A and B are shown apart, each in its own frame.
Chain A
Amino acid sequence: MSLAACSTPTTSDTTTKAAAATTAGADETTAATAAAGDNTLTVWCWDPAFNIYAMQEAEKVYQKTNPDFKLNIVETPWADIQTAMTVAATSGDYSTLPDILLCQDNAFQKNVISFPDEYVDLTDSGIAFDQFGAAKVAYSVVDGKNYGVPFDNGAVISCVRTDILEQAGYTVDDLTDITWSRYIEIGKDVLAKTGMPMLSMQAGESDLIMMMMQSAGASLFDAEGNPTIVDNATLKAVLTTYAELVTSGVLVQVNNWDEYIGTLTSGTVAGTINGCWILGSIQTAKDQSGKWAVTNMPKLDNVTGATNYSNNGGSSWAITANCKNVTLAEDFLSKTFAGSVAFYETILPSSGALATYIPAGDSDVYSKPSEFFQGDTIFKKITDYAAKVPKNNTGVYYYEARDAVATALTNIIGGADADTELKAAQDAVVFLMQG
C-alpha cells in the first residue's frame, strides 16, 4: 500500500529490514560455509583497499602450506556487522554469522559482555598475543580472556604541513613532544601569520576527546564499570583544552566526514591529529607530496600520567560461535596475522596497512622511507608510537558515554557550565545502564 511505501518506517520495520538485509546477504554465506566443506572460511569485513586486501594476502600466505584452503570474503560495513551480531545473539540463532569477522576495538567489551556465547575464547589457541602492543590486545580481553586477534593500528599521529609551518617560522620538531598549551600557542601564531587553523574535527564527535583521555591513561569508566564522568580531573582538563582550541580558532569544526577529509586534501588546514589510518586519506592528495610530516600528539598539561601517545580506532579479528572449524580458523589467524612478518611486509607498501604486530616493525619494509613524508621512516615511527600507547578501560557502555560526553562538549563550547554538563552526561549514562 502506498502509505507503507512512502511513510517513514516504524522501529519494527527498521529492525525487520535490518534483519532481512543481513539474512539476504548471509544466505549466500551460510550456503558457502556448509557446501564448501572443511577447508573454507567465511570472513566479513569492510574496506576493500585495507582490510579485504589484507585478508586476501593472508589467504595466499596460508595457501603456501595448505593449498586447498579458501577464504570467502564478504564486504560488510561495520554498522551492518554490529547489527548482525546483535540480531544473531538476541535471537539465539548464530547461523547468519560468518566464521571470522572484523570488530571495532571499541565495541569488543560491549559485544563480549552482552553476548558471551557469540565469540570463541582464543586464550589457549596458541596465538602469540604477547607479540602485539599491550594496549591493543587489552581491547579484546574480557575477564582475562582473549577474544580478538589485533589487526590494524590506530596509534595517534599528528600530521603537519611543513610548508605552512615554515611560513610562520616553525618546523615539525617544534611540535614534537610538546604540551597542548604550547600547541595552542603555536596554533594561534600560525593562524595569525597564515590564516590557517592547525586542526579540523567533525562537530559533535568526541574522537579527539577520547584520544586526549587515553593519552593520559584515563577512561570514562573505572575497573568495576562505573562511569567516571564527574569528578574526573583529566576529563575536565581535556574539555577545557578542547574548548580553548575551538574558541581560539586553532581547531575548526566541520559538519561531516567528507568535509573533514576535504580540509586535508584541499589544504585548508595546517595539520590533523588522528589515528594513523588517516595517512591513506592524506596521501590521496598527490599534489601535496613532500609537504607533510608525522610526529606525536601533544600531551595534557598538569595531568599525572600524561603522554604523547594515544589510540583512535583500530579493529581486531574475532571467531564467532558459528564457526564449524575453529581449529582451522585459529591456525589460519595464528600463522598469518599473528605469525607472518612476510605477510605484513606484503600488505604495507600498497595499502599503508600498519599493523600492531611488533616483530613486523623490525623488518626492512617498515624502515623504508616515505617520499610523501619527506623521506621519513613513518612506518617504523608509528609502530614505535603504538608500543607506547597507555591502556585504557573501554567499558561496556562505551558508546553511551562517548555520545553523552560529545553532547556535554558541544554545550560547554556554547558557553554552558562544565560541571552541570558533566553531571547531565553522567546521569544520561547511568540511566541507560539501568535499562
Chain B
Amino acid sequence: MSKSKRIKLNKKQSINGWIFLAPATLMIVMLSFVPMVRALILSFQKGTGAKLSWTGVNNYVRMFSDNVFMQSLLNNFIYLLIQVPIMLILALILAAMLNNKSLKFKGLFRTAIFLPCATSLVSYAIVFRTLFSNNGLVNYFLIKLGILETGYSFLTHTTSARIIIIIALIWRWTGYNMVFYLAGLQNIDYSIYEAARIDGASTVQIFRKITVPLLKPIILLTAIMSTNGTLQLFDESVNLTFGGPANTTITMSHYIYNTSFKYVPKFGYAAAMSYLILVLVAILAFIQMRVGDRRE
C-alpha cells in the first residue's frame, strides 16, 4: 500500500474511532465535567439558596474552623485507617483460599461472600441498625449466653457505634475486593506455586512472597478504590447511626447533605467541602501510587 493511501486510511480509521467515541465523550463532558467545573465555581461563592455572592477562598478557610466538619473528617479517617486495611487483608486471604483448585463448592462460597455488595445500601444499613439495637438479635444472644445482664446500647456509645459501622463496611465490601483479587490470581501461573511447594515453602511464605507481590497492581487498585469510597461514605452515617452519638460517627458527605438540604441551604460551602474530599482522595491516591507502583 502506498504511503499516502496508508495515511489516508489511518486518518479515516482515526476519524471513525472519534465518531464512535463522540457521543460517550460528549455525555461525560456534559454530565460529569461541566457540573464539576460549576461546582468549583460554586465553591467560591457564599449565600443562602440561590442568593449567591463571590467570596473567594473564604469557604475553604472557614471549613477548618467548623468543629462539626473537622469531627466528620476525623471520623472518615478513623474508618479509612481501620476498616480498609482489615478489609483488604481479609479479601486477600479469602481470595487465596478460594483459589485452591481442589476446593469443593468454590462457586457457592464465592457467591456467598460477594452477595453482600449487591444488596441495597439503605436496606443493609437499616438491618444492621436493627441487629444492634437495644432489643436486637445481637443483644438477645449476648443476654442468652449470659455475657450481659441487659442489652448494651451499641449505637449510643461512640466507640461501639464506630465499630458497628466498620463491621458493616467490612461485611459489605470484602467480597467485592475479593473478586478483584481472584481475577488477579488467575493470571498467576500455577506452576509458580508448584515450584515453590517443591522448594519447601509453607503456605504463609507462598502467600507473602509470591501471591502478594504478584498481585501488587490489583492491590493498589482496590486500595485506591476503597480510599475513594470510604472518604465519600454516606449511607451508613445517615441510616445506621444517624450521624452517631453527638456527631461522632457522622461522615463528610452526610454533613454536606445536611448543609444542602436539611439546614438552610448553603450550596457554596457544601461545594467547597466536596472539593476538599476530592483533594484528599487525589492526594491519597497519588501517595498510594507512588508507594505501590514502582516499576521494576
Contacts A92-B50, A262-B135; is A410 near B246 (CB within 8 Å)? yes
Residues of B close to A262: CB separation below 8 A = 135
Q: Does B99 contact A (CB under 8 A)?
A: no
Residues of B close to A397: CB separation below 8 A = 263-264
What 0/1 pattern do residues 197 to 214 of B give for CB contact below 8 A with A?
000000000000000000
* A296 CA to B155 CA, complexed, in Å: 32
Give chain B nearest CB distance to A77 CB in angstroms.
Answer: 13
Residues of B close to A258: CB separation below 8 A = 130
Partner of B264, one of A110, A254, A427: A110
Residues of B close to A114: CB separation below 8 A = 48-49, 264-265
Residues of B close to A403: CB separation below 8 A = 258, 263
Residues of A close to B267: CB separation below 8 A = 90
Contact A8 B257 (CB under 8 A): no
Residues of A close to B242: CB separation below 8 A = 204, 256
Contacts A11-B256, A410-B246; is A255 near B134 (CB within 8 Å)? yes
Contact B68 A435 (CB under 8 A): no
Contact B246 A407 (CB under 8 A): yes
Residues of B close to A11: CB separation below 8 A = 253, 256-257, 260, 270, 274
Contact A254 B270 (CB under 8 A): no
Residues of A close to B155: CB separation below 8 A = 203, 255
Which residues of B in the span 227-275 have a Cβ within 8 Å of any Cβ on A?
A: 228-229, 232-235, 242-247, 253, 256-270, 274
Residues of B close to A92: CB separation below 8 A = 50
Contact A203 B153 (CB under 8 A): yes
Contact A204 B265 (CB under 8 A): no
Q: Does B77 contact A (CB under 8 A)?
A: no
Contact B263 A12 (CB under 8 A): no
* A165 CA to B89 CA, complexed, in Å: 56
Q: Does B117 contact A (CB under 8 A)?
A: yes
Contact B234 A7 (CB under 8 A): no
Excluding A204-B156, A204-B245, A204-B246, 7 further A-B contacts by CB distance (< 8 Å) are: A8-B229, A114-B264, A259-B133, A427-B67, A428-B67, A432-B263, A435-B259
Partner of A89, one of B49, B176, B235: B49
Contact B234 A3 (CB under 8 A): no
State how many residues of chain B have any CB contact under 8 Å with chain A.
Answer: 56
The B contact surface, by secondary structure, is: helix
Contact A400 B264 (CB under 8 A): yes
18 A-B residue pairs with CB within 8 Å: A6-B117, A8-B229, A8-B232, A11-B274, A12-B39, A15-B260, A89-B50, A91-B50, A253-B153, A253-B156, A255-B134, A255-B156, A262-B135, A399-B264, A403-B258, A414-B245, A431-B66, A435-B48
What 0/1 pattern do residues 130 to 171 of B give for CB contact below 8 A with A?
100111000000000000000001011000000000000000
Q: Does A82 contact B (CB under 8 A)?
A: yes
Residues of A close to B256: CB separation below 8 A = 11
Which chain A residue lies CB-closest to B69?
A: A431
Contact A254 B66 (CB under 8 A): no
Contact B264 A396 (CB under 8 A): yes
Q: Does A387 contact B (CB under 8 A)?
A: no
* A411 CA to B234 CA, complexed, in Å: 24
What 0/1 pattern do residues 80 to 113 of B give for CB contact below 8 A with A?
0000000000000000000000000000000000
State how many residues of chain A have any CB contact under 8 Å with chain B.
Answer: 49
Q: Does B121 contact A (CB under 8 A)?
A: yes
Residues of A close to B261: CB separation below 8 A = 18, 82-83, 86
* A409 CA to B59 CA, complexed, in Å: 29
Q: Does A10 contact B (CB under 8 A)?
A: yes
Q: Does B65 contact A (CB under 8 A)?
A: yes
Contact A203 B156 (CB under 8 A): yes
Residues of B close to A408: CB separation below 8 A = 246
Q: Does A424 contact B (CB under 8 A)?
A: yes
Contact B232 A435 (CB under 8 A): no
* A7 CA to B176 CA, complexed, in Å: 10
Residues of B close to A221: CB separation below 8 A = none
Which chain A residue lies CB-closest to B66?
A: A431
Q: Does A9 contact B (CB under 8 A)?
A: yes
* A6 CA to B232 CA, complexed, in Å: 12
Contact B66 A86 (CB under 8 A): no
Give chain B nearest CB distance to A322 CB in angstroms.
Answer: 16
* A105 CA to B148 CA, complexed, in Å: 43
Which residues of A in the span 107-141 have a Cβ within 8 Å of any Cβ on B?
A: 110, 114-115
* A12 CA to B260 CA, complexed, in Å: 11
Contacts A204-B245, A411-B246, A435-B46; is A10 near B274 (CB within 8 Å)? yes
Which chain A residue lies CB-closest to B235?
A: A8
Contacts A86-B260, A204-B156, A407-B247; is A14 near B65 (CB within 8 Å)? no
Residues of B close to A16: CB separation below 8 A = 35
Contact A255 B133 (CB under 8 A): yes
Residues of B close to A18: CB separation below 8 A = 261
Contact B50 A435 (CB under 8 A): no
Which residues of A in the span 4-28 have a Cβ within 8 Å of any Cβ on B?
A: 6-12, 14-16, 18
Which chain B residue lies CB-closest to A434?
A: B62
Residues of A close to B269: CB separation below 8 A = 435
Which chain B residue lies CB-closest to A433?
A: B264
Contact B225 A90 (CB under 8 A): no
Which residues of B in the span 36-69 have a Cβ within 8 Å of any Cβ on A?
A: 36, 39, 46-50, 59, 62, 65-68
Which chain B residue lies CB-closest to A396?
A: B264
Give chain B nearest CB distance to A264 CB in angstroms.
Answer: 13
Give chain A nearest CB distance to B110 CB in angstroms.
Answer: 16
Which chain B residue lies CB-closest to A205?
A: B242
Residues of B close to A256: CB separation below 8 A = 129, 133, 242
Residues of B close to A86: CB separation below 8 A = 49, 260-261, 265
Contact B133 A115 (CB under 8 A): no
Contact A254 B133 (CB under 8 A): yes
Residues of A close to B229: CB separation below 8 A = 7-8
Which chain A residue lies CB-closest to B251?
A: A8
Give chain B nearest CB distance to A113 CB in angstroms.
Answer: 8
Give chain B nearest CB distance to A246 CB in angstroms.
Answer: 11
